[in-house]
Amino acid sequence: MKKSILSCLLLISLIGFGACGSDGSNDSTENIKSTETATSASSQPGEENGTYENRTLTVPDGVLTITGFQKGTDYEGKPMFYVLFDLTNHSEEAQNVQTMYMGLVQVSQNTGDTTENLEFSITMDSPVQDKLDMLQKDINPGGTVQGAYAYNFADESKPVTFTFTDGLFSMNDPIATEDITIQ
């Protein structure tokens, strides 16, 4: 029952993001320089929920490879960044790109007093609009797409923490965590 309610809430959120996210972004295409630290969480004995190495997450349902970052500004001129990725569907059914990505990656920032989950950035005139548009499509079984996800910074001067899991409603521990300091 709990998963059904969460699924409905996620669907409502996705519809809202789809309506808002089609605008693009006014930003520079400056690449983000970063320093990163990755740590892996151990699986329970006999339970292999996935691996993470060299910015590639491999889980039973697919493979997510982070291919880069681009920094920019959102429609209000606030600092934001894009995560560029390749995503492969290994499941037996077509999967929505945005739902699959959101199930594998959570992004946050420790701002000192608080840790904030980063919000989807509403953009205009985005240099990666074709990749953002992929979020509204489905990946067929065995298919691979190149996509992008846009986030607003909580604090542009603090590291961004990526937490990788094996699925949207996973009950397993995170597979890995990577901190990226954007300079």
Q: What pLDDT digit, counting tens, does each position of 124-168 carry? A: 889 999 999 999 999 999 999 999 999 999 999 999 999 999 988
CATH of domain 2-182: 2.60.40.1240
- The residue whose two tokens read 């920094």 is 71
- pLDDT class for 35, splitting at 50, 70, 90? very low
Torsion angle of C-alpha atoms 129, 132, 134, 136, degrees rounded to 10: -120
CB atoms within 10 A of CB 175: 23
Q: What's the pTM value of the predicted model, to 2 decimals?
A: 0.76
Burial 99-122 (b: 16+ CB within 10 A, else e): bbbbbbbebbbeeeeeeeebebbb
